[in-house]
């Protein structure tokens, strides 16, 4: 492919064109500022490629999501979360021996340091769980002096599930449950969180965590790369990613789904009334958990998690008016021509919120569950950045629009 050309102030500049594996086209502007004394302006970086990455591919128009080339549908159907963690971070699905070694290391390092438990217990009552999890993750380096890169990765993966589980139990006024080295990663997490688990919940969480594991250069992944580019340690860098996810415009979508369902249910009006409000631009009402900024077709993750949500509700025998509302909204969105024509299908946040609600997980804890799934993706992004010999500290430019030079009188 030929170079791209930009004309500016009578001068023409040729810029290299980069083509990705799946045909994405990018214009390399690395040397543009030096040559033209000008920068590109892209608020929010929505049209700017910040890196070349071999981790995750998304085609939003066609509803495609792949990790390291593998379709998300196949991974969710055939792989464990441990295998997907390994794939994202180290680039290939593990063979039997590699998986056994990885699982043994996760089990060996799964207990949470005593000092971390004390830190969690010392935090004020009523603290948001994301604040609790972010703070102790960042300070893990005080309890686990940083060592070899891959050793730090395994220790963080192993201990994070215990941190999440204890943060939940502390909210419930319950004690820490020790990890069980004889259980798999998800079964042990559910054991540490609830003291029990069942097959349908284990299967649902396996799928949920796989589906949430990475999603390309979103806000939190970009934050991890930004902070990691300064060579901050892994624990501090992931703490920054957790804080980015905490924002309601990023990780809080499934919480907003449940808040919407509760509002509709408590209002007492027939669900069809709210469906009509969603169609009316002047109503001020918006359906949460429908459509997606990236996917212009059906969210491929939603197809997978819908069945898991149905299985969990069935196995637990849940009777919840708010979840009945969810079923009615789902049916309307899948059948009503207004939603079908606009491709406003239920997304992964819609179904994940339903599963968390069914398990009596508090809504302000939903984003913590998201962080548990996204952890391996953040780590993969961090590791890829740190292994890239061409990486530099991230330093965006700006267009200054303030006062010109002036004097203090």
Which residues have a catalytic role annotated? 292, 349
How many alpha carbons fall within 13 Å on the CB side of residue 137?
30
Residues 6+ apart with CB under 8 A from 112: 159, 162, 163, 166, 176
Residues 6+ apart with CB under 8 A from 15: 3, 4, 5, 6, 27, 28, 29, 31, 32
Q: Which two tokens mark 247?
A: 């924002």
Select from 289, 214, 204, 287 the least CA-distant residue to 253.
Answer: 289
Q: How far apart are CA 31 and CA 15, in angstroms?
A: 8
Which helix (H) or strand (E) element contains residue 65?
strand 64-67
Radius of gyration of the chain (CA): 23
CB 367 within 8 A of CB 167: no
Q: Which two tokens mark 299?
A: 């969210």
Dump the DSSP string for 175-213. ------TTS-HHHHHHHHHHS---HHHHHHHHHHHHHHS
Select from 57, 64, 101, 103 the least CA-distant residue to 80.
Answer: 103
Q: What is the DSSP letter of 290?
A: B
CA dihedral 352, 356, 359, 361 (to 10 degrees): 170
Select from 374, 301, 287 the least CA-distant residue to 338.
Answer: 287
What is residue 59's three-state secondary structure? strand
Helix axes 253-267, 348-358, angle to 10 degrees: 70
Q: How far apart are CA 402 and CA 239, in angstroms?
A: 33
């Amino acid at each position: 492919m030929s170079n791209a050309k930009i004309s500016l102030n009578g001068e023409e500049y040729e810029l290299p064109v980069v083509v990705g594996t799946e045909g994405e086209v990018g214009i390399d502007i690395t040397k543009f500022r030096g040559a033209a004394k000008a920068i590109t302006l892209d608020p929010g970086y929505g049209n700017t490629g910040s890196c070349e990455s071999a981790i995750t591919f998304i085609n939003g128009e066609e509803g495609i999501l792949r990790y390291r080339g593998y379709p998300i549908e196949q991974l969710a159907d055939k792989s464990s979360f441990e295998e997907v963690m390994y794939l994202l971070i180290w680039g290939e699905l593990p063979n039997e021996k590699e998986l056994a070694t990885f699982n043994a290391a996760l089990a060996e390092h799964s207990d949470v340091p005593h000092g971390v438990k004390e830190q969690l217990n010392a935090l004020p009552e009523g603290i948001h769980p994301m604040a609790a999890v972010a703070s102790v993750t960042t300070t893990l380096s005080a309890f686990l002096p940083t060592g070899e890169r891959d050793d730090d990765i395994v220790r963080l993966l192993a201990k994070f599930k215990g941190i999440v589980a204890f943060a939940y139990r502390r909210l419930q006024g319950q004690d820490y449950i020790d990890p069980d080295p004889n259980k798999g990663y998800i079964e042990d997490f559910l054991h540490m969180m609830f003291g029990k688990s069942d097959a349908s919940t284990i299967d649902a969480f396996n799928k949920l965590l796989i589906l949430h594991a990475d999603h390309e250069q979103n806000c939190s992944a970009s934050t991890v790369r930004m902070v990691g580019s300064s060579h901050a340690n892994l624990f501090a860098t992931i703490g920054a990613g957790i804080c980015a996810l905490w924002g309601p415009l990023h990780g809080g979508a499934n919480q907003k789904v449940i808040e919407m369902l509760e509002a509709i249910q408590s209002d007492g009006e027939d669900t069809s009334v709210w469906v009509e409000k969603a169609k009316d631009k002047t109503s001020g009402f918006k359906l949460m958990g429908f459509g997606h900024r990236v996917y212009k077709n059906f969210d491929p993750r939603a197809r997978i998690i819908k069945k898991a949500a149905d299985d969990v509700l069935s196995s637990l025998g849940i009777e919840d008016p708010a979840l009945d509302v969810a079923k009615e909204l789902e049916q309307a969105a899948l059948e009503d021509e207004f939603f079908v024509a606009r491709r406003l299908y239920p997304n992964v946040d819609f179904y994940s919120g339903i599963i968390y609600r069914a398990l009596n997980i508090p809504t302000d804890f939903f984003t913590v569950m998201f962080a548990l799934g996204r952890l391996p993706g953040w780590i993969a992004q961090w590791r890829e950045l740190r292994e890239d010999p061409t990486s530099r500290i991230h330093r965006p430019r700006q267009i200054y629009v303030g006062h010109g030079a002036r004097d203090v009188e």
